[in-house]
């Protein structure tokens, strides 16, 4: 074991959904900590520039096709990832989607798209990668949740259902696989500006409203997640499993609290 508990040198990490957004930040953080990468997208060709960026950090990088709504795609990806490196040590289960609508406007198709991607896809990617991890007696699985894993918000009913499901599923998988040396945790970001919610951050009034309810008085920046993902991927977290780590600036201390007037 390295004297640096956060050193990932010699480790191989899969990060799903790395064509854009937080997935790329997770991958960069792990690469800077020493890990080699497997990057995924529904179209691997879109990953070429980012794959070159990871290699420029001195790490090995392989780009693979993965559609988390297809069981066949998941099985093929898992076999290709293992064949490329021999062993996968870390999985960051990041691929996801969202459709923002009032609950009365959510269609059957909307519900299926979100739940099949965020919940079913997360489970079967974890299952596929865990088979090899269990054989090797070691693994770190990090499922990406959300502040909606623990809080409900208007316009996010299916998304919240999917992320709440990820939190509960994480605990079950941790209980299933802990005896095999595989830890499973949920990393739950708060309000971060991503491609999915970019339009909301164009509303200055909404941003001000949000910041008033975050104890640290600002939305999250992507690099605020670097330490958390490296921690959960490393030996520093070896006795932590089944947990949800909220990186949210403290909004879950009471996001609906009223502003108290100064006396």
Q: Is residue 159 annotated as part of the catalytic site, yes or no?
A: yes
Residue 114, CA distances (Å) to 97, 118, 163, 241 in order: 6, 6, 10, 26
Q: Which of 25, 159, 201, 239 is catalytic?
A: 159
* Element housing 77 (H / E): helix 71-85
Q: What is the CA radius of gyration of the chain?
A: 18
- Angle at which helices 22-32 and 226-233 pack, to 10 degrees? 60
CB atoms closer than 10 angstroms to residue 111: 15
Tokens representing residue 40 in the block:
């995924």
CB atoms closer than 10 angstroms to residue 209: 10
Q: Which residues are catalytic?
A: 159
């Amino acid at each position: 074991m390295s004297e640096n508990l956060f050193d990932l040198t010699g480790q191989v990490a899969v990060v799903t959904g790395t064509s854009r957004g937080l997935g790329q930040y997770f991958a960069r953080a792990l690469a800077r900590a020493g890990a080699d990468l497997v990057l995924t997208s529904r179209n691997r060709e879109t990953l070429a520039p980012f794959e070159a960026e990871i290699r420029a950090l001195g790490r090995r990088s392989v780009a693979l096709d993965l559609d988390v709504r297809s069981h066949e795609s998941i099985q093929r990806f898992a076999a290709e990832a293992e064949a490329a490196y021999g062993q996968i040590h870390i999985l960051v289960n990041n691929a996801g989607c969202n459709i923002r609508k009032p609950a009365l406007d959510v269609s059957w198709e909307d519900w299926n798209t979100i739940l099949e991607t965020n919940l079913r896809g997360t489970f079967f990617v974890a299952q596929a990668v865990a088979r090899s991890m269990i054989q090797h007696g070691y693994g770190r699985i990090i499922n990406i949740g959300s502040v909606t894993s623990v809080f409900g918000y208007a316009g996010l009913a299916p998304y919240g259902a999917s992320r709440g499901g990820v939190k509960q599923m994480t605990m079950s998988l941790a209980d299933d696989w802990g005896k095999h040396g595989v830890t499973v945790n949920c990393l739950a970001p708060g309000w971060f500006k991503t491609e999915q919610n970019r339009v909301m951050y164009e509303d200055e009034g909404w941003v001000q409203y949000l910041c008033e309810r975050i104890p640290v008085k600002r939305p999250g920046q992507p690099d605020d997640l670097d330490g958390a993902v490296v921690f959960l991927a490393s030996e520093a977290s070896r006795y932590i499993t089944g947990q949800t780590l909220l990186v949210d600036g403290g909004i879950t201390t009471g996001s609906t609290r009223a502003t108290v007037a100064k006396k």
